[in-house]
Amino acid sequence: MEKEPRILVTGGSGVVGQHLKNILPDATYVSSKDCDLTNIVHVRWLISSYIPDIVIHLAAKVGGIIDNIENPVGYFDDNILMNTNLVKVCYEQKVTRLIGVLSTCIYPDIADSYPMKEEDLFSGAPTQTNFSYGYAKRCLAVQVNAYNQQYGTKWNYLIPCNLYSEYDNFDNENKMHFITALLNKIKKSGKNINLLGTGKPLRQFIYAGDLARIIKEVIDRGITDSFNVANDENYSIDELTRRILISLKKTPQIKYNNPELDGQYRKDVCNKKLKNLIPNFQFTNLEEGISRVYRKYESQI
């Protein structure tokens, strides 16, 4: 009988890591409390100690638009170091599979056509509002591709759109994903809910548990292609907010301010490759997913 592969997950305390624990319970999950991935000595200790067959790399320094604008050095340095160290050591230690998880914010700020395909990744610079983060995360794709080309490794990366989850950080507004931050504002709103920007930018959102299921499919099916992870829905922030208000039976008026903080106007990506690799995959319905997150949010406040 073939033995089960040893799986190591970085960023194991994050939202995707929490969902993975439900479907890959035998994997080893580590967070920044266990290992400083910006320190290559620590990374060498981590990989040599666990000797994984598969590494799922979720760890990243993340934050909101304002924090990205005010602290670009940290977002670049920390992510570059984490990614570079981990990839380098995985090769040194002969790790068979490395699956990196990126973000659609690494795509060009403005594309020639939408939705953007995987081959459009390097056709322009990321948006200015998270320029350092976007380039640092994009460099992981460059690094994985380089190792595959030069050393024949079978590593890949996934590029998911915006995520939401009941495992998000409900306590720190600077660390919340957009949907959680929006639910937080809705819960605390009176007659009005105040949002940054204009509400016009378009966004794709998926339930983080769906990304976890796709990662498992990648492992089970032996998929080594890199591809976008997104559904077919692409809502404006205003439309998304109104859909959520209706599903939660809330009636505040939406007010927008600071239009300069809109961020990237659109960054929707093509999911044709995903559909070819994992046919008939079913994403969680938006209303159902939002309901799960809101129930968890209400239970913790």
**Annotated active-site residue in 75, 107, 133, 207:** 133
Q: Would you call 133 a catalytic residue per the annotation? A: yes
d(CA 297, CA 64): 19
Q: Please count the other Cβ atoms lying within 10 Å of the Cβ belonging to residue 203.
A: 21
How long a stretch of residues is the chain? 301
d(CA 214, CA 201): 27
- 3-state class (DSSP) for residue 239: helix
Amino acid at 184: N
Per-residue three-class SS string for 75-139: HHHHHHHHHHHHHHHHHHCCCCEEEEECCHHHCCCCCCCCCECHHHCCCCCCCHHHHHHHHHHHH
37 backbone dihedrals φ, ψ, rounded to 5°: -70, -10
Amino acid at 28: T
Enzyme catalytic residues: 133
